[in-house]
Structure 1
Amino acid sequence: MISAQAPGKLYIAGEYAVVEPGYPAIIVALNQFVTVTITPSHDYGRIASKQYQENSLYWQRQGTELVFDNRDNPFHYILSAIRLTEQYAQALGKPLAIYHLNVNSDLDSADGKKYGLGSSAAVTVATVKALCQFYDIEMPKDRLFKLAAIAHLDVQGNGSLGDIAASVYGGWIAYQAFDRDWLASARREISLTDLLTMDWPGLQIELLTPPESLRLMIGWTGTPASTSHLVDKVALFKATRRDDYHAFLRESKACLQRMIAGFHDQDLDAIQKEIAVNRQLLNQLANLSHVTIETKLLRTMCDIAVHIGGAAKSSGAGGGDCGIVIINAAKDLASLLKEWEHRGIEPLKLNVHHVIE
């Protein structure tokens, strides 16, 4: 049996701007995982998830194609990852096989709460990793990112793919998106094997080391949000208010560059200052685009943390889900946690996950 896992993620800063090539974000990988296992089979294959037992998917082969018994399934990202990875395996001369693929995720709680930790990206990365092991394909991180990014983009259609980068590289990363229009053109002209080994315009991934005094806290507000839906709404604003949108991009880039410098300088105060600036920029974007990024409960969560000396903001697309707090590890957090509990905000006991080479 082959097993591979990929961690979930949270955005620290740079949301919305990061969907544009050349505009940075900071993302962190967390120690909650999607695990994919593969076992060889003969006559038919099964794709199953512990979380969706009633929706197991059975398939057979017709040549190199996977043929499915039931058309309606919740496994689009897994299927896209299989399709792309097997296309790559074929290009490398690997014979295709039949197998059972099982998925288990701890990115959501045992009672089904969705925390917004990037499960679609993690399941895509874990599926590609497991299949590469199964087909005995060496897959360095840069190629793993590119293959998983293509598979994810084929399903979601938008987004920065920063969550894929976090699941591949782990730890704290500074990320800038590649040019998606270039990729769409390149896929028509360039083979998949060449595409995975060449540089992608705009793509930058840098591992960051946080100051020792930095503590990351995560609060969950209990309201799941649809990232794709919110990103689509901001795209509409981009089309109709170009000057305002480009001003937001410029200010976000400058803020993130100062924040990344804070990581390089091990300067917690500088990082906290720019978290506050990024929160303000996102709230301005929300007001201009009529998109709810910082919900009332997210605002309460952040304000409680700021009151005791932390820097806080929504994480990811907003509209619910999680907020993050960057605070000095020496602070007494009892009052913050008590106030969060009183307001119905759940602290998530998660740590940063570092990928071991």
Structure 2
Amino acid sequence: MITVKAPGKLYIAGEYAVVEYGFPAIIVALDQFVTATISPSDTFGSIVSKQYQENSIFWRRQGDEMVFDNRDNPFHYILSAISLTENYAHETGRELGVYHLGINSELDSADGKKYGLGSSAAVTVATVKALCKFYHLPMDKNKLFKLAAIAHLSVQGNGSLGDIAASVYGGWIAYHSFDREWLHVQRQKSTLTELLAMDWPNLKIDLLTPPSDLRLMIGWTGSPASTSHLVDKVALVKAKQRGEYQTFLSESKACLKRMIAGFHAGDLATIQTELRQNRALLQGLGRFSHVTIETPTLKKMIAIAEAAGAAAKTSGAGGGDCGIVLIDRAINPQPLLASWASEGIERLKLNVHTVADDLIS
């Protein structure tokens, strides 16, 4: 049996702007995982998730096609990842097999509430990784990102794919999104093998080393949010508010450039200053786009952290889910945590996860 894992993620800074190609964000991979297992089968295949056992899928092979016994399922990202990876396997001359694929996610709470840790991205990455091992496909992080990004984008239709990058590369990353219109055009005229070998316009993924005195803390509001719906709302407004939106983009890019420089310099104070600036920019975006990025609970979470001497903001699209705090390790976090608890804010005890270089061996 093959077993692989893909970590969840949280955005630190650069949200919304990163949806535009070439604009940066800082993202971190976390030590909560989606695990995929795969084992060969002689007759029928299955796709099973501990989270959705009543919706398990059984399938058989008819030539190179997967034929499903039940099509009403919540596994769109898994099926997209399978389709893409098997197309690539077919291009490389592999004979397609039958298998049982198991998926187990730690990225939601025990009662099924979403934390906003990028479960759909991690599911996609884990499925692609498992199948690459199953078919003995040559795969590095760059190719894994591209294959998983195509699979994820074909389902979600929007987004920056930064969560895919965090799940593939691990650790802290500075991510510049690629031109998705270019990808759409290239997919019509290139094989997957050719696409994976190309340089994608504006795509840039750099690993960052955080300062030794930086502590990342994560607060969960107990209220899930839909990233794709919030991103869609902002997309509808940006044409009407073109001037304000362009100002937001340019200021976000400058802010992230300074923040990334803070990481390279090991300067916590600079990183915290720019985190606060990024929060202010997102608040402005929320005002002119009429999208609720900071809920009342997130505002409380941030205010409590700032009062303790930390820098804090929403993570990802906002509208619920998590907030992140960057605090000096010299500061005792217990009073802050006690105040959070009194407001119903849960600290998620997660750590940054780094990914080994040998993905497939």
Deviations for 1:315-347, whole angstroms, at most 9, x for unmatched residues? 000000000000101101111000000000000
Q: After TM superposition, what 4+ stretches of structure 1 lie above 2 angstroms from structure 2?
A: none
Unaligned runs of 5+ in 1: none
Q: Where do 1:32-43 residues align within 5 Å?
A: 32-43=32-43
Q: Where do 1:344-355 residues align within 5 Å?
A: 344-355=344-355
Give the Cα separation in 1 of the matches to 2:71 and 2:136.
Answer: 30
Give the Cα separation in 1 of the matches to 2:69 and 2:240.
Answer: 44
Q: Does 1:131 align with 2:131?
A: yes
Give the Cα separation in 2 of the matches to 1:43 and 1:189.
Answer: 35
Amino acid at match of 1:293: I
Give the Cα separation in 1 of the matches to 2:188 and 2:229.
Answer: 28
SS at match of 1:120: helix
Deviation at 1:70, TM superposition (A): 1.1
Partner of 1:334: 334
Partner of 2:212: 212
Deviation at 1:112, TM superposition (A): 1.9
Q: Does 1:106 align with 2:106?
A: yes
Report the RMSD for the aligned CA atoms in angstroms. 0.6
Deviations for 1:114-170, whole angstroms, at most 9, x for unmatched residues? 101000000000000000000011210000000000000000000000000000000
Partner of 1:234: 234
Partner of 1:305: 305
Give the Cα separation in 2 of the matches to 1:61 and 1:244.
Answer: 53
How much identity, in percent, do the aligned residues show? 70
Q: Does 1:158 align with 2:195?
A: no
Deviation at 1:22, TM superposition (A): 1.1
Q: Where do 1:59-70 residues align within 5 Å?
A: 59-70=59-70
Partner of 1:189: 189
SS at match of 2:239: helix
Partner of 2:264: 264
SS at match of 1:152: helix
Amino acid at match of 1:207: L
Deviation at 1:113, TM superposition (A): 2.4
Give the Cα separation in 2 of the matches to 1:169 and 1:238.
Answer: 31
Deviation at 1:225, TM superposition (A): 0.2
SS at match of 1:101: strand
Give the Cα separation in 2 of the matches to 1:338 and 1:113.
Answer: 23
Partner of 1:177: 177
Amino acid at match of 2:328: N
Give the Cα separation in 1 of the matches to 2:181 and 2:258.
Answer: 28
Give the Cα separation in 2 of the matches to 1:71 and 1:350.
Answer: 35
Deviations for 1:8-44, whole angstroms, at most 9, x for unmatched residues? 0000000000000111000000000000000111111
Deviation at 1:5, TM superposition (A): 0.7
Of 59-68 and 259-268, more deviation after overlay is shown by 59-68
Q: TM-score, normalised by structure 1?
A: 0.99
Deviation at 1:62, TM superposition (A): 1.4
Amino acid at match of 2:178: F
Q: Does 1:94 align with 2:97?
A: no
SS at match of 1:21: coil
Deviation at 1:63, TM superposition (A): 1.1
Deviation at 1:111, TM superposition (A): 2.3
Give the Cα separation in 1 of the matches to 2:187 and 2:334.
Answer: 53
Give the Cα separation in 2 of the matches to 1:103 and 1:217.
Answer: 28
Partner of 2:53: 53
Unaligned runs of 5+ in 2: none
SS at match of 1:60: strand
Give the Cα separation in 1 of the matches to 2:292 and 2:189.
Answer: 40
Q: Does 1:343 align with 2:343?
A: yes
